[in-house]
Amino acid sequence: MTIITRRKLITSAAIGAGSLLSGCDALNRNPAFQDVLASAETGNFAVQRALGDRMELASEYGIADLSPTFRANGSRDPGTADYTASAAQGFANWQLRLTGLFRNPQQFTLAALQSMPQRTQITRHDCVEGWSAIGQWTGVPLKILLDLAQLRGSARFLVFHCADRLGGRPYYESIDLLDGFHPQTILAHRLNGEPLPIANGAPLRLRVERQLGYKHAKYVTGVEAVSSLAGFGEGKGGYWQDVANYEWYAGI
């Protein structure tokens, strides 16, 4: 009697597990259910911003803590004719444009950016995949550029335009103004004391240290101040947000 019951129990558990799996896949394809799941991300964003100082610095490390090799991921070389030609001359002709909702739109050469006050920080880069690498970044704080270009009151986000394409789409990312003015948010041109390698985003890469790696746009050509993210890609604020269900806020 008990044995039959147990067998039944085990069989129904197996059937249950099977239907749970296919049920989960069905739910996963349901846009309304995806919205329910994504609502947790809104909570993550609100809670993380509410906790502690909103300008809290990410941990910084010493030279002894550096990863022996800093892993590159995503685009490792934009590979376009323009980019390759620019790389051949050490990016001397590279231009960074600040466009959109600025009172004084700006344009900088790499040399101009390098002549500004710099920040060097040794931070941990956390990839959404789970790995981490510690590297030393040197670059110009974004705040300096934003102060020069003077944001208009209607600006809410900063969109980073990049020279690389993934899967035929231009890579782009966006952050809000809080992260834009954060002291550790820099446009880096050096990694571990050397000019930034192409695989890691030469000549300019965004560092936004309290978020995951995919937010750290590489090969940056422009910063556009906007009031809404609707006009870019699918309107979700970044390449990975558009092509998959990655979250715009990548603090967790």
Partner 1 sequence: MPEHPIIPVQARHHLTTRIWHWINALCLLVLLMSGLTIFNAHPRLYWGEYGANDDYAWMAVGSSDRMGYLRFGEMRIETTGVLGNWQDSAGKTQKWAFPGWATIPSSYSLADGRRWHFFFAWIFSVGLTLFMVRSLWNRHIQKDLHMRKDEWRPSHIWQSLRDHTRIATIRQSSAKPYNVVQKLTYIGVIFILLPLMIWTGLGMSPGMDANWPILTDVFGGRQSARSVHFITAFLLVLFFLVHIVMVLLSGPIKQTAAMIGGGRAKGAG
Is residue 71 within 8 A of residue 134, CB to CB? The reply is no
Distance CA 200, CA 68 (A): 15
d(CA 207, CA 186): 5
Q: Which of 4, 32, 51, 88 binds partner 1 (CB under 8 A)?
A: 51
Range in contact with partner 1 (rule: CB under 8 A) among 58-66, 81-89, 109-117, 169-177: 58-66
Q: Per residue in 170-188, is it b (16+ CB within 10 Å) or e — as a string?
A: ebbbbbeeebbbbebbbbb
Q: Nearest-CA neighbor of 208 among 236, 243, 173? A: 173
Q: Segment contacting partner 1 (CB under 8 A): 19-27, 75-83, 192-200, 228-236?
A: 19-27
Q: Interface with partner 1 by CB under 8 A: which range of 101-109, 155-163, 167-175, 243-251?
A: 243-251
Residue 44 contacts partner 1 per CB under 8 A = yes
From 11, 12, 21, 193, residue interacting with partner 1 (rule: CB under 8 A): 21
Nearest approach, Cβ of residue 89 and partner 1 (Å): 31
Residue 48 interacts with partner 1 (CB under 8 A)? yes
Question: By the 8 A CB rule, do 234 and 172 touch?
Answer: no
- Under 8 Å CB-to-CB from 173, ≥6 apart: which residues? 159, 160, 162, 206, 214, 215, 216, 217, 237, 238, 239
Any contact of residue 188 with partner 1 (CB under 8 A)? no
* Binding positions for partner 1, rule: CB under 8 A: 5-6, 9, 20-22, 24-25, 28, 34, 36-41, 43-44, 48, 51-53, 56-59, 61, 65, 67-69, 71, 124, 126-134, 209-212, 240, 244-247, 251-252
